[in-house]
Amino acid sequence: MMERTVSIIGAGNMGGGIALNLLARGYAVHVCDIDAAKERFLEQKGALAVIKPAQAAIKSGATIICVVGSAQVQDVLLGADGLLKASPQDLQNHTVILCPTISPQDVERFAALLGSHGVALIEAPMSGGPKRAQDGSMSLMVACENTLFKQHEPLLRDLSSKLFHVSQRLGDGARTKLVNNLLAAINLTGAAEAMAMAQKLGLDASRTLDVIEQSSGQSWIGSERMRRALAGDVHPPGAHMTLLAKDSKLAMQAARDVGCSNAVGEVATGLFAQALEAGMADDDDAQMLKFLRR
């Protein structure tokens, strides 16, 4: 039964989507979030709320962490009610599935911390957005030992129909995700810039996007975000501007660490930084079109 019992810490856009997916597949799902309203919503769908992360290890075979960044992961693990405050007996044979986009160095640090408490780590950064998290079609970039992957493969495949076991070296999930998200930032800013140009040229933006989607300029994130931007479907935000701003900044640091010069990546990262400085941190990242129209 523990194999079909999962705890999710962080029930926002992605974590909430994952919870709904697993509930639909018959899992027993425990959720923990700093926003009680998110917990209540998922309780109405059949989830059970836990008061603190430490309870997650007691109540489930695996804990999926879906917070935003390293500081929040640190708090989930070591905070006053953190997961690692549970007893050694409760942590025995427990596995953490770590989904945020963080630096490879932080992944390695958290792996060592968890390992010192006898907890296994599966690194599994995700891509695809809330809808794909809910229907199980998001991408997962998994790094962990082969035996651990095999042990949890049924759960991982229920989470993702696009499952990639990229490496046994922890940190490679983050490295893969940062490469992906740097390109996502480039594609999104490029699509927004092209749409702003189309409108300045007097073109019908939606018709122009029809053409792009069937031509060489197409990208998934460009189409998805620009469609929503043109329709005004940006409230509530599907993905906050802060996320790709953070991820592209992390990606550029990873590039510098290995002596890689990414000129286009620098431009895209700079545009996200400027959007945050303009007060758009909490906006949907599809609002990059609005920003570049200025």
Same domain, 220 and 140: no
For the chain, what percent of residues have pLDDT higher than 70?
A: 99
Same domain, 194 and 279: yes
Tell which of 170, 189, 207 closes a domain.
170
Strand blocks (E) in the chain: 5-9, 28-32, 48-49, 62-65, 95-98, 120-123, 126-127, 139-143, 162-167
Same domain, 221 and 165: no
Kindly report, residue by residue over 181-225, the tens digit of the pLDDT.
999 999 999 999 999 999 999 999 999 999 999 999 999 999 999
Range of the domain at 247: 175-293
Same domain, 10 and 108: yes
CATH number at residue 141: 3.40.50.720
Neighbouring C-beta atoms of residue 201, cutoff 10 Å = 8
Same domain, 162 and 275: no
For the chain, what percent of residues have pLDDT higher than 90?
A: 95
Same domain, 232 and 276: yes
pTM for the full model? 0.95
- DSSP calls for 111-170: HHHHHHTT-EEEE--EES-HHHHHHT--EEEEES-HHHHHHHHHHHHHH-SEEEEEESST
**pLDDT for res 14:** 97
Model confidence band, residue 291 (pLDDT cutoffs 50, 70, 90): very high
Same domain, 21 and 166: yes
Model confidence band, residue 56 (pLDDT cutoffs 50, 70, 90): confident
Tell which of 127, 145, 170 closes a domain.
170
Same domain, 147 and 242: no
Tell which of 152, 170, 188 closes a domain.
170
CATH number at residue 198: 1.10.1040.10
Same domain, 130 and 71: yes
C-alpha gyration radius of the chain: 20
Kindly report, residue by residue over 5-40, the tens digit of the pLDDT.
999 999 999 999 999 999 999 999 999 999 999 999
Same domain, 179 and 159: no
Same domain, 18 and 41: yes
- With tokens 């992906």, the residue in question is 180
Q: How far is CA 106 from the centre of its chain?
A: 16
Same domain, 54 and 139: yes
Number of domains comprising the chain: 2
**pLDDT for res 1:** 57
